[in-house]
Amino acid sequence: MREKNISEDRKKYLRKIRKGKISVAVTQILILVIFIIGWEILANQGVIDSFITSQPSRILSTFLNLSSNGLLKHLGVTLLETLIGFVSGVVLGVAIAICLWWSPFLSKVSEPYLVVLNSLPKVALRTSYNYMGRSWNWCNNYNGVSNFINSNRIRNIKWFYKYRQRTYKNGTNIWSKQTSNSN
């Protein structure tokens, strides 16, 4: 019923808009198809290294065999861990924000510390250099890199020095009882 009230000029305008949207979508799909076909041909001809960039056919066959190689299970675990981390981060962040909003004193006290934490690279805040907090029997310091938070051996300060290799320029150990004349 409403179409009867629309003028012919308006109908032409709406058709022109619809044709424009369709032509944009078709062009985008065509570019994607040409890119995938070109990628497959260049990988088959050896122009690009398929070890580094793979091939669309290999990616498709791997995608079709997801259930046979356990990738779906690992994808589910990764998704669950991501969601748990996101939700816990949001809940903790909102709780801290409410506390800081509620208490002007706490806000003023914590401001310089929050500014410093915000300027740190987020990678520096993870719990371990290689094992992301999952290491129980190994020292979590490799080549002098220490943890921001070491939850495994927090009560024993000797873990910090136990496996670190510190030497003077002449090769003697810094932690040994012998002193060096070169220093």
Q: Rounded to two decimals, what is the model's pTM?
A: 0.40
Beta strands in the chain (DSSP E): none
What number of other Cβ atoms are within 10 A of residue 146's Cβ?
Answer: 14
Pull the structure tokens for residue 87: 């939700």
- pLDDT at residue 65, rounded to an integer: 81
- pLDDT at residue 62, rounded to an integer: 82
Whole-angstrom distance, CA of residue 68 vs CA of residue 65: 5
Which residue ranges make up each domain of the chain? 1-64, 70-119, 123-183
In 3D space, the residue among 64, 60, 66 whose CA is nearest the CA of residue 43 turns out to be 60
- pLDDT at residue 71, rounded to an integer: 77
- pLDDT at residue 84, rounded to an integer: 96
Residue type, 86: F
Is the distance from CB of 135 to CB of 142 less than 8 angstroms?
A: no
21 in helix, strand or coil? helix
CB-based burial, 42-59: b 16+ in 10 Å, e otherwise: ebeeeebebeeeebeeee
The predicted-structure confidence for 111-136, as pLDDT tens digits, reads as follows 999 888 888 887 776 655 455 444 44
- pLDDT at residue 17, rounded to an integer: 96
What residues in the chain have per-residue pLDDT under 50?
1, 129, 132-157, 159-161, 163, 180, 183
Whole-angstrom distance, CA of residue 133 vs CA of residue 129: 9
